[in-house]
Amino acid sequence: MKAPRLLNVRAAVCHGVGEPLRLETVQLAPPAADEVLIEIKASGLCHSDYHQMTGVSTPYPFPVILGHEGAGVVAECGAAVETVRPGDHVVPLSIGECGHCRNCRSGKTNLCLEFFAGMQAPPRRFSIDGRPVAAYANNGTFASFIVMKERNVARIRRDVAFDLACTIGCAVATGVGAVLYTARVERNASVAVFGLGGIGLNVVQGARHAGATMIIGIDVNPAREVLARRFGATHFINPQQQSGNVVEHLRALTGGGVDYSFECVGSTQLMFQALECTRAGWGVCTALGVPPDGERLPILPFDLQLGRTLKGSFLGNVKTRSQLPGLLDLYADGELNLADLVTHRLPLERINEGFDLLREGRSVRTVVTF
Ligand code: CU
Ligand code: ZN
């Protein structure tokens, strides 16, 4: 058997905890019959990438190509690929949608069973001089080209710029999706959002789209108030400037507790508060943030026995091929704001500056372009 021709691609590689990303040439295995080669045009920087860099949460071995919020163009398709063609604009996703497994058919979850198989045995498509290099979320969108299974590729409309379109692959799906497909917020609801970063601001605008009338943003960064209001927040609480307990304050503000709360930081402490601030009887708390590896969530069973629900979701429970592209329709209809989400753009060469902005809380989303 002849060895497959390897493609040389440019990528920002993370070699270990605490190390800056290094731009280098890596080798990429060409697409198999059911796979697609994608030329990445833009990719957002996410806290999960940063957690892998800093060792807070390291689901992938080093060396690893980070990036899981990309958008690009199909460059080449394997022989069996039927639903996308070269030239299509696409977003690659860690969760595929095969469309026929038990989970895909359930109508209840976006977690296609193939996703769990991919976690057990992640594909190793990248290498440097024959040594394997992992790809974050099996994406690795800080590379100029990536290969994905056809079922992990969502075709998107062509009239949205790549540096905005990429955000639906993580931040927008996670935040807006959590409102629409996880919590299912209804009109006139009250909503509390803990943490107003890339995910939290999308929860805010998802809640506005759903018709929530009271949307309370909570963040220790005072600069987030203006932004949050632009995305639809009606109230803002800075816990550091607030005398007394945030939970009590939220209960007072809403006459007993919010209908829906969302934790978007990854703090188990905040998840507990987010659950407690929901209304007894029907309050729903959705945990979205990713806590440090190994942390447990302490909850009082009585909080649940009082009729509260605690939920979570991955990518907002948005089905990645059949529902996710619709998020760009909401943007085109003026229902979602992506322009104010992408606060910084940098060429791939300057990606480390983008992570500095993220660490300092000065960016919402930085997008690197290729
Ligand atoms: Cu992400
Ligand atoms: Zn499936």
Q: Model confidence over 123-168: pLDDT tens digits?
A: 999 999 999 999 999 999 999 999 999 999 999 999 999 999 999 9
Q: Which of 14, 101, 112, 170 is catalytic?
A: 170
Q: Please determine, for residue 298, whether its predicted confidence score (pLDDT) is greater than 90.
A: no
Q: What type of residue is 268? A: T
146-11-361 Cα angle (round to 5): 105
Q: Which ligand is nearest to the CA of 49?
A: 1
308 CA distance to ligand 2 middle (Å): 30
Looking at residue 292, its pLDDT comes to 87
Calculate how far, in angstroms, residue 34's C-alpha sits from the geometric centre of ligand 1.
Answer: 25
Ligand nearest to the CA of residue 112, numbered in listed order: 2
Share of residues in the chain with pLDDT > 90 (%)? 94
Q: Please tell me which residue in 14, 43, 47, 68 is annotated as part of the active site.
A: 68
CATH superfamily of 7-169+340-369: Medium-chain alcohol dehydrogenases, catalytic domain (3.90.180.10)
| CA 115–ligand 2 middle distance (angstroms) | 8
Closest by CA position to 92, among listed 154, 44, 140, 37: 154
Tell me the three state secondary structure of residue 288. coil
67 CA distance to ligand 1 middle (Å): 8
Task: Report the alpha-carbon angle 299-305-311, nearest 5.
Answer: 55
> What ranges make up the beta strands (E) of 140-184?
145-149, 153-155
When pLDDT is averaged across residues 274-299 and rounded to a whole number, the result is 95
Q: Are the C-beta atoms of residues 46 and 68 closer than 8 Å to each other?
A: yes
Q: Are 367 and 43 in contact (CB under 8 A)?
A: yes
Which position among 14, 43, 47, 51 bears the catalytic label? 51
Q: How far is the CA of 278 from the centre of ligand 1 (A)?
A: 26
Length of the chain: 370
Q: Which ligand is nearest to the CA of 316?
A: 1
The verdict on whether 48 is a catalytic residue reads yes
**Could you confirm whether 170 is annotated as catalytic?**
yes
- pTM of the entire predicted model: 0.96
Q: Is the pLDDT of residue 1 over 60?
A: no
199, 279 contact by CB (below 8 A) = no
Q: In angstroms, what is the span from residue 355 Cα to ligand 1's centroid?
A: 13
**DSSP structure class, residue 143:** B
Using alpha carbons only, give the angle 127, 132, 136 rounded to the nearest 5 degrees: 90
14, 46, 166, 285: the catalytic one is 46
Render the burial of 26-62: b for 16+ CB within 10 Å, e for the rest. Answer: bbbbebbeebbbbbbbbbbbbbbbbbbbeebbeebeb
Residue whose entry in the numeric block shows the structure tokens 């060469």: 349
Ligand 1 centroid to Cα of residue 105, in Å, is 26
Region of 317 on the Ramachandran plot (φ > 0 left; ψ -120 to 50 alpha; else beta): left
- Average pLDDT in the 4-12 region? 94
Is the omega angle on the peptide bond into residue 122 within 30 degrees of 0, that is, cis? no
- Measured in Å, how far apart are the chain's first and last C-alpha atoms? 35
* φ/ψ (deg, to 5) at 341: -80, -40
Position 293 scores a pLDDT of 86
Q: Residue 63: is the preceding peptide bond cis (ω within 30°)? A: yes
Q: Which of 123-137, 217-231, 286-300, 307-321 has the lowest mean pLDDT?
A: 286-300
Q: Which CATH class is domain 175-313?
A: alpha beta
Q: Which ligand is closest in space to the CA of residue 96?
A: 2
Rounded Cα distance, 148 and 64, in Å: 16
- Ligand 2 centroid – CA 319 distance (Å): 10
Domain boundaries defined on the chain: 7-169+340-369, 175-313
Write down the catalytic residue from 43, 48, 190, 363. Answer: 48
**Fold identical between 7-169+340-369 and 175-313?**
no
